[in-house]
């Protein structure tokens, strides 16, 4: 068997023994052209700024200044007096509350499924209740929240539940 000396071995070239690719020369002509263009642009801006004649500027471009003091005094005083004497009539309508609301987010065949939904709601900071109901189609376990004074508060909690991927909650009057 032949022994190999891996420590004193010279490393191979990474490009497979070929000569390294020659470097491209710096594009001096391109750099000089770019420098001349930038310098010409800067000089053009400087020339326009220092040699513009203000008389030749069109009157539409110049802002028209009117004296506000002459216009405001006669207009504002009668206006302020009119406001002080004016009465405002407001009609207030009472909004009838449709009563408390509830939100149901699930109806399950097993109590364990309902408990799982209730636990997910608890992570959103909401306390749900499970109500067992019996009907013609069997026993159901409903997961619901409420009562809510306004529908807006129920919608707020519904949006919290949507953020944790609990969809399909329905809001209706408390029974």
Domain ranges (residues) in the chain? 101-173
Residue 141 predicted with pLDDT over 80: yes
Lowest mean pLDDT among 24-38, 86-100, 102-116, 119-133: 86-100
In this predicted structure, what is the pLDDT of residue 92?
78
Residue 125, phi-psi category: left (phi > 0), alpha (psi -120 to 50), beta (remainder): left
Residue 53 predicted with pLDDT over 90: no
Claim: this prediction has a pTM higher than 0.75: no
Question: Under CATH, domain 101-173 is a member of which superfamily?
Answer: Sporulation related repeat (3.30.70.1070)
pLDDT tens figures, 56-107:
665 555 555 655 555 545 566 677 777 777 777 888 777 666 779 999 999 9
Residue 2 predicted with pLDDT over 80: no
Mean pLDDT (the chain) is: 81
Compute CA distances 91 → 88, 94, 164, whole Å: 10, 10, 43
Burial bucket for residue 101 (CB in 10 Å: 0-12, 13-18, 19+): buried
The CA radius of gyration of the chain, in Å to the nearest whole number, is: 41
Query: When comparing pLDDT for 136 and 18, which is higher?
Result: 136
Query: When comparing pLDDT for 99 and 32, which is higher?
Result: 32
Query: When comparing pLDDT for 75 and 48, which is higher?
Result: 48
């Amino acid at each position: 068997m032949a022994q190999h000396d891996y420590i004193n071995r010279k490393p191979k070239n990474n490009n497979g023994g070929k000569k390294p690719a020659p470097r491209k020369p710096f594009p001096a002509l391109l750099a000089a052209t770019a420098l001349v263009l930038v310098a010409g642009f800067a000089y053009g801006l400087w020339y326009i700024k220092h040699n513009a004649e203000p008389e030749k500027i069109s009157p539409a471009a110049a802002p028209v200044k009117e004296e506000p003091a002459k216009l405001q005094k006669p207009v504002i005083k009668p206006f302020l007096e009119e406001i002080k004497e004016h009465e405002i009539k407001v009609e207030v309508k009472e909004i009838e509350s449709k009563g408390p609301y509830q939100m149901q987010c699930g109806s399950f065949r097993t109590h364990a499924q309902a408990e799982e939904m209730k636990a997910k709601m608890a992570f959103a900071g909401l306390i749900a209740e499970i109500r067992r109901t019996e009907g013609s189609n069997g026993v159901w376990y409903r997961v619901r929240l409420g009562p809510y004074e306004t529908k807006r508060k129920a919608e707020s909690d519904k949006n919290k539940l949507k953020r944790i991927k609990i969809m399909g909650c329905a809001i209706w009057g408390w029974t």
